[in-house]
Structures are given as C-alpha cells and as structure tokens.
Structure 1
Amino acid sequence: MVMDPDNLSVVLHSLKDLRLEQRPIPEPGPNDVLLRMHSVGICGSDVHYWQHGRIGDFVVTKPMVLGHEASGTVVKVGSAVKNLQIGDRVAIEPGVPRETDEFFKNGRYNLSPTIFFCATPPDDGNLSRYYIHSANFCYKLPANVTFEEGALIEPLSVGIHACRRAGVTLGSIVLICGAGPIGLVSLLVAKAMGASKVVITDLSQERLSMAKELGADFAIAITKGNSPQELAKNVADMLGAPPQITIECTGVESSIQTAIYATQSGGVVVLVGLGAEMATIPLVNAAVREVDIRGVFRYCNTWPMAIAMLASGKVNVKPLVTHRFPLEQALQAFETTKQGLGIKVMLKCDKNDQKP
C-alpha cells in the first residue's frame, strides 16, 4: 500500500505550547499494527496537559503527541500479528502493559506502574494521521459501529469500569455527580446495566438537559449556595430514598462530600473525577454507616463489552459528539474544548474521510 507521507500530528511542546507539525510515519514492530487514524476525541486530560503542563506526577518534560480516544484503519501489520489484517476498522485501547507483572496476571493491568498509556508523559498519543499500536489492544469494529463510536469507547470504558466497581445491577438506585462526558457515559452504562433510577447533578442546565435526553430520571441543578448536606437531602427527597450507589465524576471537594452524605448506609461511593491531591471529606460519617469508598483508575477489560453494547444498540453515544474539526484545525478544536462548549469535540484525522 502506497501511503501519503503526510503525518500531521498535534504535539504539546511545553506548557500552553501546542503545535501542528509533521512527524515521520512509524514502522510497526512484530506485534504492532500501523493505523491510519480516523476519529480522535479531545479529553479533559489533553486540555489539562496543555494548560498546566502536568497532571499529578505526570509532567510534560519533552514534546508529546496528544490524544487517546481513538479509532482508525489498519494499513500495515507486524510479522507476528494474527488477529488483524489490512483494512480492519479498529478501536484503540490506549493502555498497554509493558510487562507480565502481578497486576497483569490478576487482570488489573491498568494498575501496572510500567504501563504504556497514550498521551501520558512520556508516552506519545495518537492525534496524528498515522500511529502504531499493539495489535492485542486494537479491537475490530462491527460494520454497524462508526469510527466516532469506536473513539468514544475510551470514555465509555471509564463508565463501564466505574459501574462495575460500584456494583451497579438490576434495580440499582444511582446518583451521578457531574454531567460532563464521564458523568454522561456513566449514566448510559448504569441504565444499560439495569439501574432503575438515576439522578444526576451539575452546574450546567445545558448538560442536565442532555442527561435527561440520554435517560436520566432526575436532574438537579446545583447552585453555589447549596451545602453538601442540603444536596444530599434533595437527592433523597427526589428519589424517595437515598441512592445505594454514587458515582462522583467531578473531583470537586464539596461534591465528594455530597456523594458521601447522600449515599445510603451500606452503599458504595465510587470516585472517578480527579481533583486536588488532598480533600477534606466526612470520613467518619462514611465509616459509621459502612459506606464503601472505591477508587477508579482508567479501566481494564472493557473494550469487548463496550463494542457489544454499541453494536446491539443498548447504548447510544452518538449524541455526545457536539463538535467536529479536521485535524488541520486542531488548535481551534482545543480552544472549543477549553471553553467548555458542547460535550465531546472530535478531530477527523483522515483528510479523505471526514464522515462520523
């Protein structure tokens, strides 16, 4: 296959220094595939690295290609690859274990300290025309699943992992704090897993309206004057009882407090949103009521379930994409995301195919 040498890439050089530049087309190793990228979503973490140069201990110290919510087409396969062939449309799982450590062996490879992860320093992401990735972490898309849906499997996976960690099941009553992209996918997954009632909170009326369209039973607009205890009471009054499960997607200290106060005794709070390293929370309140607090770090073993959910029509993520830009307009796309306009901004990397 003759390939266009154009490998335009979105590269973060340092704090607030985002550039479009050409990079060589990489050659796949024995277990890799070369992908012609199609759709890549912009994540809050991409914007955070651009605006702050770091997330926690992950610091941008050299130029890094951004992007990790992605799908594309296989254009070259490594010599040892058996599961994929040229022409396959795939969704990319961005976290690839580098070694067979204890985390890998017990199925929680997302916790491996040496994992490769797209667009997490020092690892390059895939916001480019061409990109190589481990074939074992590329998943074939059925014909009825679009490239954009394939790219949205990454945020959808956070929702799947959060709902699994929370134990969402038939009849669960769930509170979701935050109606951004992760709150909305958590809503979609909770409903697909059988939650009977879901209430969602946010500051933005626009996002709450989207949540209602996606299946939220109740939506609560937060105002600055609400105390966590008052919000918890509002949630219980609206549901008729406290929720058994709360999925906290903002990382905001007051929201974490609300999550704990709101959750039924014996219930579960899952912390998905990442905020400040230290937070003041009513830990004793949780302890004496046996409320379990569980963390979430990315996801693992979620792509097959996500693909099945999308292919079957059980979950519809298409409404989440509110803006689309060609790769050449990446800087404008990042500005749009930074300003909080819409829900999910999608970059189209294949200049010959700009379709969803």
Structure 2
Amino acid sequence: MINPSTGIVMGHEASGTIHSVGSSVKSVKPGDRVAIEPGMPCRICKACKSGVYNMCRSMRFAAAPGPPDTQGTLSKYFRSAEDFVYKIPDQMGLDEAVLVEPLAVAVHAVKLADVRPGETVVVMGSGTIGLFCAAVARQFGAHRIIIVDILEKKLEFAASYLKCETFRSSTEASPEENAEQLLKKFDLVESGIDTTGGLVDTVIEASGATSSIDMGINVLQPGGKYVQTGLGKPKIEFPIVAMSQKELMVRGCFRYGAGDYELAVRFLEKGLIEVKSLISSITPFEKATEAWEKTSKGDGIKNLIQGVQDS
C-alpha cells in the first residue's frame, strides 16, 4: 500500500537522456538517449536465475507501492541499472521511446501466445496494449487480425491505425451471443459445425473486462491459445467448461521479460511499427495534472508528460 504521508512519484513509461554513469558502466555514456525499462529484479532468486525476471518477488518496479526506491520515473533524475536502459537511434524521438514500455508488454504477450504465420488472431480491447498486441502479432506473421471493443470511436482508430478488421461487441448481448456474431460476421464458422468454437487460432485479451474474457474463450477453436494481458477484477466467473472441452491453452501475461525490450526498440528502429499517431498530447511537467485529467476523461490515447527541463 502507498503511505499517504509520503506519497509516491508516479510514472513507469519513460525515456530520457543519460546524465551521468558509474565507473564500471561501459555500454552507455552521458548524452545517450535511452528507453527505460522501469523494473529492477534481484538477479539472485530462482525466477531470475530461470530467466523469468518479471516473476521476481523482490522486483523494484517504478511507481509500485513498496520501499522508497520504487519511486516512479516522473522526476528530473531516475537511477537505473546499465542493462535496463536501451539506446535509441537518432531518428527516434524521446516521445516515441516512451511507448517502448507498452510495446514490450505486447511483445511479451505475442511471444507467450506463440503466434505463427497464417494465424487468425482476435484481440479483445483496443487500448494502447490491445493496439500494440495486434501490431506485434502482424509482425509475427498473423494473417488475419480482428480487434474487439464496445466503443465505436476506438474501433475506428484501430481500423485506421492497423488496417485491420474490427468488431463492436454489444453490452446488451451475452458473451456467447457476441462470440457467435463475431464468428458469423467474419465467416469463421467451420462448415457443418456450430459456433461453440470458430476458426480463431489465438485470442489476446487486453481489457480485463469479465465479459471480454468470456467472449474470448468462446470464439476460440478447439486447441486454440488464449493469453490474458489485461488486468481487471482479482476474481471473476470464468467459462471453465468451454476451456476444458476445447482443450485450450490458457496463459497469464505479466509485464515483459528477457529480450522483449530489445525487440520493441528494433520494431521502432526499423519502422515496422509506428507509434507517433498514438501520442495525443505532450504536457509540460509543470502542468502534469492536465495530462492526468485528459486521461481520466478518456481524451486521446497516450497523453505524455514532458520531463523536468533545465531552466
């Protein structure tokens, strides 16, 4: 829990310019522009030694409640380990580099889903993570991508940004009914088979909404893959019978792991994924609350806060 008497510095999606380095640092130097991976694992626990450092129980993650050294990145200076900052190319802006963090989440999700060339992928939710999951799935070879949301405005942006198919789920219909409508609309029903399982290979759930989770399970074909990326209620009702009868591979997804940040940076460096159009505004640090207010109202997609500037 956050101590109300001391508060916490917010921010975990960040980029910056190296100010100074320790005597043993070799890979970066003052003046280098970098994307910042905002978590620092212990490096010695079983999870860390097994290569899944995002599972580290002693992770010090920026802006996460905990000891004082888990303060966030929304400050003039932020201390990081040498191997948790990633140099960005000259053509990449610091604003774009901020989005390496959510893009790395998407990379992790798509890798967990084992998306393969030719697959049909359904992404539930068209927020930043959902959009990036779809974009990364395309880079992994997905042939058909369908994004699902309840808001038409968000789906219009998704269609423009990704040139993908979209489906607006109805809040008046059940998850099963929405799943059936999606499968029929996109001709994903196997001939002679009912719609209890369509021809969808992979679902990446990026909203955390209970109805979205239920619908995602219902659109999958037998043997399909499901990755839960969105975080919602701690406990929900889950369609366990459908999952079992279709022998689905269901996985959780948490942050990012080894190689995810590097691949995210590479996607941007090569121009394979474009992120500039997701940046709705950049607010000076002194007016940071305005960015929070925009986000709380649902205005824009990514409302960035500029770092503290030298006077």
SS at match of 2:247: coil
Q: Which residue in the other structure is 1:86 paired with?
A: 30
Q: Which residue in the other structure is 1:326 paired with?
A: 284
CA offset at residue 218 of structure 1?
1.3
RMSD: 1.4
Q: Are the aligned partners of 1:199 and 1:235 in contact in 2 as well (CA < 8 Å)?
A: no
1:287-306 equivalences under 5 Å are 287-301=244-258, 302-306=260-264
Q: Are the aligned partners of 2:118 and 2:141 in contact in 1 as well (CA < 8 Å)?
A: yes
Q: Which residue in the other structure is 1:43 paired with?
A: none
With the length of structure 2 as denominator, give the TM-score of the two structures: 0.92
Letter matched to residue 155 of structure 2 = L
Q: Are the aligned partners of 2:42 and 2:48 in contact in 1 as well (CA < 8 Å)?
A: no
CA offset at residue 222 of structure 1?
2.3
Q: Which residue in the other structure is 1:52 paired with?
A: none
Q: Which residue in the other structure is 1:18 paired with?
A: none
Matches of 2:213 and 2:45, distance apart in 1: 33
Matches of 1:232 and 1:105, distance apart in 2: 41
CA offset at residue 89 of structure 1?
0.4
Q: Which residue in the other structure is 1:157 paired with?
A: 104
Matches of 2:83 and 2:178, distance apart in 1: 45
CA offset at residue 238 of structure 1?
3.0
Q: Are the aligned partners of 2:113 and 2:227 in contact in 1 as well (CA < 8 Å)?
A: yes
Q: Which residue in the other structure is 2:119 paired with?
A: 172
Q: Which residue in the other structure is 2:83 paired with?
A: 136
SS at match of 2:99: helix
Q: Are the aligned partners of 1:173 and 1:198 in contact in 2 as well (CA < 8 Å)?
A: yes
SS at match of 2:18: strand
Q: Are the aligned partners of 2:146 and 2:165 in contact in 1 as well (CA < 8 Å)?
A: yes
Q: Which has the higher strand share?
A: 1
Q: Are the aligned partners of 2:43 and 2:53 in contact in 1 as well (CA < 8 Å)?
A: no
Q: Which of the numbers 223, 229, 233 marks the counterpart of 1:272?
A: 229
Q: Which residue in the other structure is 2:243 paired with?
A: 286
Structure 1: stretches of 5+ with no match in the other structure: 1-58
Q: Which residue in the other structure is 1:105 paired with?
A: 49
What is the CA deviation profile of residues 189-242 of structure 1, one whole-angstrom value per residue up to 9, with x for unaligned ones? 111111111111112222111111122521112222121111111222233223
Q: Which residue in the other structure is 1:218 paired with?
A: 165
SS at match of 1:175: strand
CA offset at residue 109 of structure 1?
0.2
Letter matched to residue 183 of structure 1 = G
Q: Are the aligned partners of 2:75 and 2:308 in contact in 1 as well (CA < 8 Å)?
A: no
Letter matched to residue 185 of structure 2 = M
Matches of 2:170 and 2:217, distance apart in 1: 19
Moved more, 221-230 or 312-321: 221-230
Q: Are the aligned partners of 2:40 and 2:59 in contact in 1 as well (CA < 8 Å)?
A: yes
CA offset at residue 350 of structure 1?
4.3
CA offset at residue 99 of structure 1?
3.1
Q: Which residue in the other structure is 2:305 paired with?
A: 347
Q: Which residue in the other structure is 1:23 paired with?
A: none
SS at match of 1:267: strand
Structure 2: stretches of 5+ with no match in the other structure: 189-197
Q: Are the aligned partners of 1:199 and 1:216 in contact in 2 as well (CA < 8 Å)?
A: no
Q: Which of the numbers 72, 77, 87 marks the counterpart of 1:125?
A: 72
With the length of structure 1 as denominator, give the TM-score of the two structures: 0.80
The percent identity for this pair of structures is: 36
SS at match of 2:19: strand
Q: Which runs of 4 or more aligned residues in structure 1 lie more than 3 Å from their structure 2 counterparts after TM superposition?
A: none
Q: Are the aligned partners of 1:268 and 1:292 in contact in 2 as well (CA < 8 Å)?
A: yes
CA offset at residue 173 of structure 1?
0.6
Letter matched to residue 49 of structure 2 = K
Letter matched to residue 275 of structure 1 = G
SS at match of 2:251: strand
Letter matched to residue 284 of structure 2 = P
CA offset at residue 175 of structure 1?
0.6
Matches of 1:188 and 1:352, distance apart in 2: 36
